[in-house]
Structure 1
Amino acid sequence: MIKRFILGILTLGTTTIVAQRNSASPYSYFGIGENFDQLTVEQSSMGGIGVAMKDTYHLNFTNPAANADLRVTTYAIGGSLSFLTLKESNGSSSGKSTNLRYIALGLPLGKKMGLTVGLQPFSSVGYGLLNSTYSGDDLLEISRFTGSGGTNRLYAGFGAYLFKGFSVGAEASFIFGNIENNIFNQKNNVSLGTKYEEELNIRGGQFKFGAQYETELKNKLKFNTGATVVLESDLSATGSERLYSLTLSNTGIEQGRDTLYTRNISGNITMPYKAAFGVGLGKTDKWYVGINQEFRKAITTSNGINTATNGYQYESGRKLSMGGYYIPKINSISSYWDRVTYRAGVRFEKLGVLVDGLGTGQNLTSIDDFGINIGIGLPLPKLLSNVNLGFEYGQRGTINNNLVKENYFNMKLSLSLNSLNWFIKRKID
């Protein structure tokens, strides 16, 4: 079973990291992979805030209650280019990947309601590691660990005002995708190698509920609060696994020989209950600062699907986000750069997994993530629309206890296109 080999994925001084073009992270083995934050580029550039934030012209993926503030039809599309450097105790390697982060549409429904629909990647699996065992200068054994695939979510969210300043919302998501994990092993002086393959089909739903409240203070200051709850949900994981022997040609092509075993597998990966709270303060179209705090329970699994062992365990996670934006003068005629939105933020996160890189079962290390973000929003000729650029530098993991540390740099780009007339029938005078 693959769970018996996970230590080789994240360990040891003999490990050489093999970067792949579409790699995510060695830590993407756990659960259903490396989770994508449900954030727009605008939100990500502010450290990931949004639970309490209201915005008339931009979508908010964090809190469905914010849909009640939509006043124009809003189309959003975003992507990212990521550069990743993986470090361990005696070596490092690097790679890059590109991702389409979201396609979404927001529609105002009168003056007190709004609806959004969209498609986003939900998680990604993309590790590739080579573990070599030596006795002196003699190579004894090679193991190659690879994983690929991921999941997506198709969602719809609705928000409405119940009374002045107070809105509520709900969101339903369908999560789907495929994940593949492989282990190849070859021993010295043994003619045949072995390969383990696991293929999983992931399906399931998820529900989120949110609320926001805004009150106006003196000098046109606005104070916002918000909260969201994501209910616990079971994702079905069905597929197959097999173990077979093989030989490698001089060009590296695999030639299968005997199948040692094959069987169907079925289980669940339970996405945990998650709650987030946020507050913010600002002036409309001028500046805003906010803070979010998120808590989530530990992932659980069943029937041997990614089941925790002595090598790793799931734990509860949390995330703290802080950030905001500033617009010098939104209606400036003399200076384009005065109309630009400047964003910045910071994020601290505990991913929710403990890993033992020493293989003793006594040195479980919690995996943390940290990111610094900046960004700008460039208005297009139609003032309601803009191009958003975001930049993030972050670190995940540690080289302590023979684990892997990641340094990453993400460049993000999005278009937020707004129109009052997309769904209004034209009249001829």
Structure 2
Amino acid sequence: MLKNLLLLNFFLVCTLVLTDTYAQRKESRLTGNSPYSALGIGDITPANAIPGDAMGGTGLTFGNGIYVNTLNPAMLVKTRFVAFSTGIRGQYRTISDGTNSQTDFGANLSHVMMAFGMKPKWTMSVGLRPHSSVEYESRYTSTIQGTTNSVQYIYKGQGGFSKATVGSGHMIGKSLYVGLEGAYYFGSISRDTTSRLLLNDGEDYYLRYSDRINANGVGLKAGFMWQQKLSSKWFLNVGGTYELQSKLKGSQLRSLTTLIEGQNGPQILKKPDTLGIASGSLVLPSQYALGISIESPLKWIFAAEYSRQDWTNYRNFQGRAESNLTAGDRISLGVEFLPKVTSTAYFDQVFYRVGFQQTKTPYLVNTTQVTDRSFTFGLSTPLGFRNLSYIDLGLSVGTRGLTGNGLVKENYFKISLGFSLIDTRWFLKTKTD
């Protein structure tokens, strides 16, 4: 009983920390500088759990009950016991425009999720995870004609949206799995444009235009998986998800601030002027994903998946489409191997994974669609002999974008670390002899 309470407290503490982290996005470096996150609602965070990071982001059509499937709610039913899952993602990125370059690092919690079996063919889950991230900063300087002074222009954005979820997975008959996931989106995005007048006396003046949006709303995703037995050891799995279009309602605050250079950086010279406060909404486009896998349970998995989201259907806070967003899609391939589930050797209980992912992002810059490609690999190691709880590790090496035509190229190395904790004694009735 004490162990169960400690696990529950750990889950609640992580949830509170995660909520506080999301609420304080403006004060922390979570994902690293990414110019492309200036578009739309920012970079969309991968929805898969940490084990999927090592398999190219796959996970629609399989699950072993050890880790919580965060991609397809239909796969929740694979989790028979109480399962807690959390993790952290970090990335080291080099950004280049062909002439200048910079390196950056950022890290953030990936998710906190708990799943629990209600009945033999019914499992539910609750969770919290990021949905998008905006974090960019760029600046350039130009000389004021006829003077010796210059103006530096600074463009900066921070924030993003998170989602709290409740999922339910069911098994119908012996081969059909179905599920639903409800989501509550919440968050804010701030974008600042600053003009800094560089004066020779060192008392530089700043004029900062700020645009902050706060929004929230609900979403719904449905999923299925159908399994066909091919032989005594092999199964064919086919599945997919469909996420409905979501409308997030909120408010927008626009302000103008004058600052002056101080001993500890820019200081507000006078109270910010409010330019406008308005109510409105954001429309997030629908998304579908399809996958297929060939599986030998607790031995081999070969998976291939495709997903698509048309961001021409996105509407910003002014109710308009954005010309720099287009339809994006993703192809994912992954392989998982477990040496021998019945072995007493520790490394025979380790899951080994590799994968590949190619994403045509929705970002359209000067008629060029930005492409992201990466190779992934990783493993999951048990916390002890014949222990159902695992430590998950995923590594990814890739590139996004290219140099020239007004684009930038990002070379990155990502690392994911997660924990999949299982307790088999929850909800068991006490028996007295």
Q: Distance in 2 between matches of 1:296 and 1:127?
A: 23
Question: Which amino acid counterpart does residue 346 of structure 1 have in structure 2?
Answer: F
- Measured on the aligned residues, the alpha-carbon RMSD in Å equals 2.3
CA distance in 2 between counterparts of 1:189 and 1:307 reads 40
Hey, what does 2:409 align to over in structure 1? 405
CA distance in 2, matches of 1:388, 1:127: 29
In the other structure, the counterpart of 2:219 is: 206
- Is structure 2 residue 291 aligned with structure 1 residue 278? yes
The 3-state SS of whatever aligns with 1:66 is helix
SS of 2:269's equivalent?
Answer: strand
Aligned 8 A contact 1:57 1:71 in 2:
no
1:415 and 2:419 are equivalent in the alignment: yes
Partner of 2:239: 226
The answer to whether 1:349 aligns with 2:354 is no
- In structure 2, distance between residues paired with 1:265 and 1:30: 21
Name the TM-score, length of structure 2 as normaliser: 0.86
Give 1:383 deviation, angstroms: 2.3
Indicate how the Cα distance of structure 1 residues 58 and 259 shifts in structure 2: closer, same or farther if over 3 A, else same: closer
The DSSP-based 3-state class of the residue aligned with 2:131 is strand
Report if the CA contact (8 A) 2:39-2:324 is conserved. Answer: no
Any idea what SS the aligned residue of 2:67 has?
Answer: coil
Aligned equivalent of 2:94: 85
Question: Counterparts of 1:404 and 1:305 in 2: how far apart (Å)?
Answer: 29
* Aligned partner of 1:297 among 292, 295, 310: 310
SS of alignment partner, residue 346 of structure 2: coil
Q: Does 1:322 align with 2:333?
A: yes
* Shift of residue 134, structure 1, vs aligned partner: 5.0
Instruction: Name the residue aligned to 1:373.
Output: 376
Instruction: Confirm or deny: 8 A CA contact 1:286 1:329 kept in the other structure.
Output: yes
Q: CA deviation at 1:138?
A: 6.8
How many residues matched?
Answer: 399
In structure 2, how many angstroms separate the alpha carbons of the residues matched to 1:305 and 1:265? Answer: 12
Deviation at 1:206, TM superposition (A): 1.0
1:141-198 deviation per Cα after TM superposition (whole angstroms, max 9, x unaligned): 2111111122211001111122210011100000111211111112456974311111
Instruction: Give the direction of change, closer, same or farther, for the CA distance of 1:71–1:259 in structure 2 (3 Å limit).
Output: closer
1:367 alignment partner, SS class: strand
What letter corresponds to residue 343 of structure 1 in structure 2? R
Superposition pairs for residues 162-241 of structure 1, below 5 Å?
162-187=172-197, 192-241=205-254
Cα offset for 1:133? 2.5
Verify the 8 A CA contact 1:46 1:373 in the aligned structure 2. Answer: yes
Aligned residues of 2:258 and 2:272 also touching (Cα < 8 A): yes
Q: In the alignment, what sits opposite 2:25?
A: none
Greater CA deviation, 137-146 or 219-228? Answer: 137-146
Conserved 8 A contact 1:31-1:306: no
1:28 lines up with 2:41 in the alignment: no
Q: 1:396 aligns with which of 393, 400, 412?
A: 400
Counterpart in the other structure of 1:99: 108
Contact 1:55 1:66 in 2 (8 A): no
The 1:253–1:163 alpha-carbon spacing in structure 2 relative to 1, beyond 3 Å, is same
Please point out which of 152, 156, 164 is paired with 1:146: 156
Q: Deviations over 1:392-421 (max 9, x none)?
A: 112112212122211111111111111210
1:55 is the counterpart of 2:64? yes
Which residue of the other structure, out of 127, 146, 162, is the alignment partner of 1:118?
127
